[in-house]
Structure 1
Amino acid sequence: MSYLSPFAAPDPGERLSSEQLVEVLRAAGEPTRLRILVLLEQGDLTVKDLTEILGQSQPRISRHLKLLTEAGLVDRFPEGAWVYYRLADTVASVTLASVIRSLVDQRDARVLRDRERLEQVKTARSERAAAYFARNAHAWDEIRSLHAADGLVEAAILEAVGPAPFDAYLDLGTGTGRLIELLDGRWARALGIDLSQTMLAVARAHLDRARISGAQVRLGDIYALDLPRDSFDLVTLHQVLHFLDDPARAIRETARVLRPGGRVVIVDFAPHGLEFLREEHAHRRLGFGHGEITRFLEQAGLAVEAIRDIPAPQDGQLTVTLWLARDPRIAIASHASRREVVA
């Protein structure tokens, strides 16, 4: 089986041998497995999700998923006690799922029932996410009230990224998946990484509700990404570094997965003295100066293009800083080395 690296566009020139094609068709050529492929094209699902949608037992669903995984059509991603399944990034999987979708009668009673139950699963996710937000809203509201409005910060991110479309986007510490939604329409494929299973559940519900397609979220370690080198055109770290013991290491790992000419956007707090954020909200660092993050970026081989401060609404509150950097392996003679500081 010919596998593609994550978020690599399928090469239309790749072909399967006749034996491989028979293996793939044999794996897909069963009613339940066809239904699973159609469902997974619409997002990540667990065995529990699929048992509820398809009305079959857990052992039977697991068996079908095992056969699809062995054939290279489906990937599995453990998240603690849960395992999520999604379509594999292979020529066979992407092509076959597209063909199935185009050939299946969308008015078929079984297809309609599967779609209705899938919506019920997504609604349940959304309700769990809303309950989690309700339990934690007071803590987030307290921090949000201390810095510039989210709309101002998001406008600065959009300006830094620019309107031009690009291929692959990686959001590290994705949280609710808000930046994936914000930049929807610019990226062709997006991946969010987070270390919290709870936040990944929130992100999935958020992206489902926003009808975002082409995006995935998964569990991952920001210090050791299970992703190949040179994979992404844009990487963002939004309010992430102040939670880390070793921000420089995270930036080095970010640089590793960045494509030549790709960009990094970091958004975090400027230095401050609000000690309660360390004591009550698990902040490891009380902000970063311009020079500190610039040094980390340059040590990782990246060129800083712009730094922008978004002032706090009141004296004594939090200033938000945005850094934009680029991998200089392309267009070295351009403005990649120019640094612009906007207070």
Structure 2
Amino acid sequence: MEELLQGMRAIAEPTRIRILVLCAHSELTVSELVQILGQSQPRVSRHLRLMVEAGVLQRHQEGTWAWYRLANKLAPIAGGGRAANRVAQMAADLIDLIPEEDPVVSRDLERLEGIRQERARIAEEYFTRNAEDWGRIRALHVDEGQVNDAVQAAFAKAPVQRLLDIGTGTGSVLRLLGDHIQSGTGVDQSPQMLSIARSALDRAQLTHCQVRQADMYQLPYDAGSFDAACLHMVLHYAEEPAVALREAARVLEAGGRLVVVDFAPHNVAELHSRHAHRWPGFSDDQVVGWMLDAGLENPEIKHMEGGPLTVTLWEATQSVEARNAKKGAI
């Protein structure tokens, strides 16, 4: 009862209702909210602090920036298990009652659209600068659409509530699967990549998906926080791919599915010299061995040949025995 009352008090103020609506539409920084609301930073920061303390908003730090979004009752919180709380549900229900044609709300959303357009401009500049290199790599392997179809098929075998995309980059996997999952989180070390991904998710209106800065070797989530995870074209950059895969398996619940997409062994030296690939692809024995060592079971393999590069999709599920053993070890 007390948490609901605290949540109600945190929302029951005109500016906070405006903040609530804005953060339901997009993840925003303090400076962006100041720009939209036309209020001082100390005042906006105070509102945000109260709303975070009440569980209405979620806050996460990304370098020197703090980002705010509407609390999600499904998405796991870093270090805090799942945010399946009644306050988050209450906030979501309240937003449904607020008319977007309200003059104040309408003006706020127009200003938010201006911020989104600026994000999109920056993202487009990045894609334009890198289009030639990406096009050269794509020409070496099978059509990207075939790979995407295989990823969608792998995750369509069971409903996905909470997806973790490790090494999310531009957020392509979240966008690919966004309409088929209840909640998605992408993690990456690069602030620039996260900025691009955030803009792309905004344009796709995937408000149930979010991105976070995190280390793939030390994910900031409890064991069993997700029921699906993906490592899409990530392991060939990893210094320790087996460790990254084991950490991905750790955050899966029993029966959770891990999908790994990467290159089979190849001799394309350019990928190492020009594109910083640490590994020249992986054999089935390597990846399946790492999966089994991580407590995963029932591995499946799909090869997609095209040009000098073969793309492989490996998938496996977290075993009940392995998950119970890890619980007992805690």
Q: Which residue of 2 aligns with 1:53?
A: 36
Q: For residue 265 of structure 2, give the secondary structure of its aligned residue in structure 1.
A: coil
> For residues 18-58 of structure 1, what are the alpha-carbon distances to aligned partners after superposition, in whole Å with 9 as ceiling and x for unaligned?
xx444333222221111111111122111121112111222
Q: Secondary structure in 1 aligned to 2:101?
A: coil
Displacement of 1:295 after TM fit? 0.7
Unaligned residue ranges in structure 1 (runs of 5+): 1-15, 331-343
Cα contact 1:163–1:186 (8 A) shared by 2: no
Task: Read off the aligned partner of 2:289 and give its amino acid letter.
Answer: R
Summarize the Cα distance change of 1:159–1:26 in structure 2 as closer, same or farther, 3 Å threshold: closer
State the alpha-carbon separation in 2 of the partners of residues 74 and 233 from structure 1.
Answer: 23
Amino acid at match of 1:326: T
Give the TM-score taking structure 1 as reference length.
Answer: 0.86
Q: How many residues align?
A: 310
Q: For 1:75, which of 55, 58, 61 is the aligned residue?
A: 58
Provide the residue aligned with 1:285 in structure 2: 279
Change (3 A) 1:304 1:243: farther
Which of 138, 143, 147 is the matching residue for 1:144? 138
Task: Report the more deviating stretch, 53-62 or 22-31.
Answer: 22-31
Report Cα offsets for 1:101-140 as digits up to 9, x if no partner: 1332332100111111111111111111001111122221
Distance 1:102 1:311 in 2: 48
- Pairing partner for 2:304 from 310, 321, 338: 310
Could you tell me the percent identity over the aligned residues?
A: 45
1:243 alignment partner in structure 2: 237
Secondary structure in structure 1 of the residue aligned to 2:280: coil
1:321 matched to 2:309? The reply is no
Partner of 1:258: 252
User: Could you say what secondary structure the match of 2:178 adopts?
Assistant: coil
Name the CA distance, whole Å, in 1 between partners of 2:118 and 2:217: 32
Structure 2: gaps spanning 5 or more residues: 72-82, 322-330
* Contact 2:178–2:209, Cα closer than 8 Å, also in 1: no
SS at match of 2:67: strand
| Shift, 1:78, TM fit | 1.2
The secondary structure found in structure 2 opposite 1:174 is coil
Distance 1:170 1:324 in 2: 14
Please say if residues 74 and 93 of structure 1, whose CA atoms lie closer than 8 Å, have aligned partners that are also in contact.
Answer: no
- The RMSD of aligned alpha carbons is 1.6
**Bigger helix fraction:** 2
SS at 1:261's partner residue?
Answer: strand
Instruction: Tell me if structure 2 keeps the 8 A contact 1:24–1:92.
Output: no
Pairs within 5 Å for 1:143-292: 143-162=137-156, 164-292=158-286
Q: Which amino acid letter does the alignment assign opposite residue 175 of structure 2?
A: E
**Deviation of the 1:92 alpha carbon:** 4.4
Checking the alignment, whether the CA contact within 8 Å between 1:168 and 1:190 is kept in structure 2 is: yes
TM-score, length of structure 2 as denominator length = 0.89
Q: Which residue of 2 aligns with 1:37?
A: 20
